[in-house]
Amino acid sequence: MRSWLYLVILPTRLTLAAQTQHIVMWRKGVSSLKGQREIIFSEDEQLNFKEFDPSIGADGYCSAIRNVLFPNSKPATLDIAALSVKYRIYVRGSIFSRVRPIDNPLVDKFLKEHVTRKEFFPATRSVKDASIGRFNAQGVRKLYLADHPYVALKECGIEPGQHFLFSYFSFSADTYFMDAEPNETKFSKILHDLFQSEDRRFYEVINRVYESYLDYPEFQGLAYSSARVQKNYHDPVWGEIDSTTNLVMKEDHMPSAELLGGWLAICDEKYRPRYLRIFIPNNPKKKQKLVSTSYQGNKSKFISLTQELVRKTQDTKRKSVNRIKNKEYADPEMSPVKVLIKD
């Protein structure tokens, strides 16, 4: 038997806080989740996402999470519950970092051959089917970005001696991301704990929960805290890591993510990128084309191009900060109702 689930979004602003690059908004909404198997937890028992329990399974975890928000739900009932959520506005010009690990057999290609813009984005389905990730299901292509370069390196598990592509991205338009940071509610804290799990076997649960609760067409994706770097962590080389925010952007919104430039690099023993070759887009009419220069044999030109890219990145970021100060942004247009079917 099927019954309808109505998810009503209540667009009421509760707070507005400007930060270096983004604005945080609070809104109230209504959401629901379709579950399969019932797992009952006592009032004082906490869901544990440190280690996946196969006897519970993905269906069982999803059902238990749903029951926190809908404790009286029955198979044939119409369920509505209030859910307090946050979203972030990242204004045009906001800067983020991205890292892509490069396997040793491919290093020569990035050192010597022609490289296009698409190498800095997730591979298309024609090249490689996306493996399941924290916020992307098997075969679903999404773009992961980080607010801090150190976090980008850690999220990808880069180790000393490993090669990788490091790049800067900027948004060409104002973008809107749901925020996974917990608020005062038990339900939001449960979602935060789930999203922080380092057990990859929870990825299916994370993707199903995100899709049902936090995925709306008005938003480009999700902002969430790193599971591998604690905020305000002090690294002896990088200094204090003041932001551990990651973004995951849905495929249909990737055109708003503009590649400013990047490098082929190798991680040294002090966990710093040692740049080997720089890649810069320089022709708006040929969006896939990149100009490249290697450090070896072209030191002066390489340094000049690197300095130019850093200046462009800093200037783009400065303009985005001014847009926040001048309130040059708008709220997203939000649909009031989302409907799901409960089996």
Structure token digits, residue 232: 């305000």
- Stronger pLDDT, 12 or 128, i.e. the higher one: 128
Task: State the Cα–Cα distance between residues 120 and 214, nearest whole angstrom.
Answer: 27
Mean pLDDT of 74-98: 83
Kindly report, residue by residue over 3-33, the tens digit of the pLDDT.
Answer: 444 444 443 332 233 333 444 444 443 333 3
The answer to whether residue 35 scores a pLDDT higher than 70 is no
Kindly report, residue by residue over 139-155, the tens digit of the pLDDT.
Answer: 999 999 999 999 999 99
Domain membership flag for residue 201: yes
How high is the pLDDT of residue 171? 96
Task: State the Cα–Cα distance between residues 200 and 81, nearest whole angstrom.
Answer: 29
Residue type, 268: D
Domain membership flag for residue 37: yes
Domain membership flag for residue 190: yes
- Collapsing DSSP to helix, strand or coil, 208 comes out as helix
How high is the pLDDT of residue 339? 60
How high is the pLDDT of residue 79? 72
Question: Tell me, what DSSP letter sits at residue 112?
Answer: H
Domain membership flag for residue 72: yes
The answer to whether residue 343 scores a pLDDT higher than 60 is no
Kindly report, residue by residue over 177-236, the tens digit of the pLDDT.
Answer: 999 988 888 888 999 999 999 999 999 999 999 998 888 888 999 999 999 999 889 999
Please enumerate in sequence order all residues whose Cβ is within 8 A of that of 14, keeping only pairs 6 or more positions apart, or say none: 25, 26, 27, 28
Question: Domain containing 81: what range?
Answer: 3-89+177-212+329-342
Number of folded domains that form the chain: 1
The answer to whether residue 313 scores a pLDDT higher than 60 is yes
How high is the pLDDT of residue 284? 65
How high is the pLDDT of residue 2? 43
Domain membership flag for residue 75: yes
Domain membership flag for residue 29: yes
Residue 292 CB neighbours (<10 A): 20
| Complete DSSP assignment for 228-267 | SS-TT-EETTTEE----EEEEEEGGGGGGEEEEEEEEEEE
Which residue from 209, 181, 191, 248 is spatially nearest to 26, judged by alpha carbons?
Answer: 181
Mean pLDDT of 157-169: 97
Kindly report, residue by residue over 223-279, the tens digit of the pLDDT.
Answer: 999 999 998 899 998 999 999 999 999 999 999 999 999 999 999 999 999 999 999
Domain membership flag for residue 82: yes
Domain membership flag for residue 262: no
User: Which of 29-33, 82-86, 88-92, 262-266 has maximum average pLDDT?
Assistant: 262-266
Please enumerate in sequence order all residues whose Cβ is within 8 A of that of 226, keeping only pairs 6 or more positions apart, or say none: 146, 151, 154, 155, 244, 245, 246
How high is the pLDDT of residue 338? 57
Mean pLDDT of 163-178: 95
Mean pLDDT of 92-109: 95
Task: State the Cα–Cα distance between residues 205 and 61, nearest whole angstrom.
Answer: 7
How high is the pLDDT of residue 330? 85
* pLDDT mean across residues, the chain: 84
